[in-house]
Structure 1
């Protein structure tokens, strides 16, 4: 006899974790008619985050419970992975209390990768334990293989001369490793090794990718001679899971009115994510590069910061002085007023990318943004700043071939205006042959993504398969 499972999700702070978790909950509720409870640990630093949470609560598709804040006053670790790990660890008692207070106990707990210590709560309440990887399978492969590399590699990863070989996957170049691997002496490195060790104890993993995109990597998890000996539980590709457009609302109407007057696929959208910022010098070069390219653009401008990840926990509430002229070169706004539209702090990215006028995406390459570009068939300029974005940029530009990237890492050097202009023209200009191939591949991948999540597609079937296991009370 099949039972109707009650599924609980726990999401880490930050828009990059919150959006995919809420979209996953939406699909579990709407497509599979499951009862879903989402436990959220808000960053409490962004009005945009509160609006997203409020919208999810108002939609009524699932229950949203904000866990009470844990005391973080003594935490000095400012690294993203370190602080996220400590935050989620300190919220385990609150999660335990919240679960015990539910009238219907969940039978499945889905944790994002920073919440694996919540498995202890799942065990206490006899819940199946799953991990939701909001990034790609290559990133996930490196994550679970890091405990092996930790024993194999001497010295710093970035100082190694040869790429790191992961069984059945593309090698990872030392310069592309994610942030927690940049310094093995930092606490966030040890947190990451712990995460890589804990994930295989789950009953299964849901990854935000699809078979056509990463078939070789996904196959490595099923092969005992490759990653299957580490990740013994099944890995399900269920993506792409991307947020749905919020529509043309509020203050954004002026932007969408402007877009509606532009020729088809003539505009490049420039945004470095909710946690991505540029130095003043680099912002000046981007401005001049956009102007030199001669292409129409929409640019979401944020105040320059010293560190590229400085806004991860403070995504802004729009109350700061965000006068564009304060950060941009003298006369830039006037000179580009006919071809450009500058937005302060935030724009509805999914709606912008879905506009018929948009034909390119200048992005930090976070996986959520990369998927939003792919699912809209938009070629990209990838500009990696932090986290796993260097790996994403390599994958998108060199393996998938839907993007171009700078010759040097933006975190290592200031990228000049001439190179920026050339990258923009390459993906936007009709006469560029390499760009033409990139644009065609973007459209091809868009069709592949649509097919994967449609009925009968690989991700659709994988999703149905795991839900069937939950209904049968099998893990």
Structure 2
């Protein structure tokens, strides 16, 4: 899906108008939709969202649910054919960047046809090339980064690293220096930095060059979550020559369910109601993450060894080790019998008493806010991370691709609300014994209770950020002014 945001002046009789364009993928679309909600409700803006449909059934469900709120207008744009521009095996970052370039003519025509012209541009991180429309309309241009301040710092500093580091980043002897921030460990670099000759690296580098040209940068974080990194980014002595764009932390913006948790209860929620408080481990690898068959079996056996209750969103495994293989198609291959064939013999019989297996997709926010859920084994996508924090649920960090390794390190080492395996799941198979130990550390041991208390404090911090005098509320108000 694609989406971009415009806001009009709040002068005299002119109507405030917000238009959104997000890059493809549920992980990008969701935070843009939630930002649109904030703009529509807190600033009384008219909101229009331009969307390019993808192959994802889950995205279609999200859009339909969002449209039912009648807060914003959604306009579908014809998806561009990029088959002649990228190889079938091209990285997700490359494919998204090309889609965003190819959609520009259709998007420009659609924006020009609006009855109420835009007066402020907000593009998501992959929409940076569309910022030139703002110059055409003579309006300010903003970029929305649906991630944390550490990721923004790396993105903005990449053009400097590109000059300083001569070989591959992963071959460096020491961690990468970023002004005022924790050194970036080489194993945590984002996927586009793994190979400098790949097109996705050039796309990411271009992003780091163009984003500072915006009149402001919005972040899906809040002041109290990352005070040191945000302070560093605003330090002119450290960053003045790299980016002078003001930074607006407007998070946490996370999915909010449209219905009460006790209405139209499914079998899953009826089962959850019967479980002890904070006793269930929720397992999901996001809108695009998938496991190999071998890793799926080890995870199942590790759960069985731990003897802990669980809800596991299971997806058809991959033959090769590709972590993001369902990025554009999540929710389309649901087949309970086929999925069951990949699990160890006897696991389903055991799980009948200890857990539930859900195919492809589950109502994640509704699950995380249930009182019986006490842990989240997650791929550490930023949307899922914020959903876990804002519902007071600690994590087992299982990063797979994109910037998820950075996120996992933030959760484990800085926020101290997660445990993780000794080896990266994206590189090696995590064995059943280690999985058992991680599950018990989180769900049973004192360490897990300590993390649970800490994440509940972060939950309160996020709620306060959106109070009338909260930091994110003030940031959005400043942006609108």
Q: Using the alignment, how far apart are the partners of 2:53 and 2:448 within structure 1?
A: 40
Which residue is 1:31 aligned to? Answer: 42
| Residue equivalent to 2:454 | 441
- Out of 350, 356, 359, the position equivalent to 2:365 is 350
Q: Give the corresponding residue for 1:135.
A: 147
Where does residue 190 of structure 2 map in the other structure? Answer: 178
1:54 correspondence with 2:57: no
Residues 251 and 316 of structure 1, relative CA distance in 2, 3 Å threshold: farther
Contact 2:331 2:361 in 1 (8 A): no
The secondary structure found in structure 2 opposite 1:71 is coil
Consecutive unaligned residues of structure 2, counting only runs of 5 or more, are 1-8
Q: Distance in 2 between matches of 1:318 and 1:22?
A: 25
Unaligned runs of 5+ in 1: 469-475
Match of 2:272 among 259, 263, 266: 259
Deviations 1:246-287 (A, max 9, x none): 445999711111101111100010001110011000000100
* Kept in 1: contact 2:17–2:118 (CA 8 A): yes
1:344-384 CA-to-partner distances (Å, cap 9, x unmatched) read 11100000000000000000000000000000100100100
| Counterpart residue number, 1:271 | 284
Check conservation: 1:7, 1:36, Cα contact below 8 A: yes
2:222 to 210, 223, 227: 210
Give the TM-score normalised by the residue count of structure 1: 0.95
Conserved? CA contact 1:108–1:127, under 8 Å: yes
What is the Cα deviation at residue 216 of structure 1? 0.8
For the residue of structure 2 that corresponds to 1:341, the secondary structure is strand
**In the alignment, which residue of structure 2 is the partner of 1:472?**
none
Whether the 8 Å contact between 1:384 and 1:393 is mirrored in structure 2 is yes
Q: Is 1:273–1:369's contact at 8 Å kept on the other side of the alignment?
A: yes
Question: 1:249/1:448 Cα in 2 relative to 1: closer, same or farther (>3 Å)?
Answer: closer
Q: 1: distance between equivalents of 2:337 and 2:288?
A: 16
Q: Report the counterpart of residue 25 of structure 2 in structure 1.
A: 14
Give the CA deviation at 1:127. 2.5
Q: Supply the distance in 2 between the matched residues of 1:194 and 1:397 (Cα, whole angstroms).
A: 30
Residues 2/110 of structure 1: CA separation in 2 closer, same or farther (3 Å cut)? closer
Distance 1:320 1:347 in 2: 14
Cα RMSD (Å): 1.6
What is the aligned partner in structure 2 of residue 404 from structure 1? 419
Report if aligned partners of 1:168, 1:227 keep a CA contact under 8 Å in 2.
no
Residue aligning to 1:314: 329
Q: Distance in 2 between matches of 1:218 and 1:42?
A: 34
1:230 pairs with one of 217, 224, 242: 242
Within 5 Å, give how 1:104-123 maps onto structure 2.
104-123=116-135
In structure 2, relative to structure 1, the CA distance for the partners of 1:313 and 1:405 (3 Å cut) is same
SS at structure 2 position matched to 1:211? coil
The 2-side partners of 1:81 and 1:354 are apart by 32
Which of the numbers 416, 422, 431 marks the counterpart of 2:437?
422
Q: Show the counterpart of 2:475.
A: 462
- 1:327 counterpart residue number: 342
Identify the residue that residue 303 of structure 2 maps to in structure 1.
Answer: 290
Give, in angstroms, the shift of residue 428 of structure 1: 0.8
Give 2:401's aligned residue.
386
Asked if structure 2 preserves the Cα contact closer than 8 Å seen for 1:223 and 1:229, the reply is no
TM-score, normalization: structure 2? 0.94
Residues 188-232 of structure 1: CA deviation (Å, up to 9, x unaligned): 100100000000100101100011110111112211111233120
Go from structure 1 to structure 2 and tell me whether the alpha carbon gap of 1:327 and 1:27 turns closer, same or farther (over 3 Å shift): same
CA contact (8 A) 1:203 1:233 kept: yes
Structure 1 residue 132, shift from structure 2 partner: 0.6
The number of residues matched between the two structures is: 465
SS in 1 for 2:68: helix
| Contact 1:210–1:240 under 8 Å retained in 2 | yes
Q: Check whether the contact 1:268–1:359 (CA below 8 A) recurs between aligned residues.
A: yes
Give the conservation status (yes or no) of the 8 Å contact 2:149–2:226.
yes
Cα distance in 2 between the residues matched to 1:389 and 1:252 = 33
Among 360, 374, 380, the alignment partner of 1:365 is 380
**Structure 1 residues 251 and 337, CA, compared in 2 at 3 Å: closer, same or farther?**
farther
Q: 1:5 aligns with which of 1, 16, 38?
A: 16
Q: Return closer, same or farther for 1:319/1:277 CA change in 2, 3 Å cut-off.
A: closer
Alpha-carbon distance in 2 for matches of 1:170, 1:134: 20
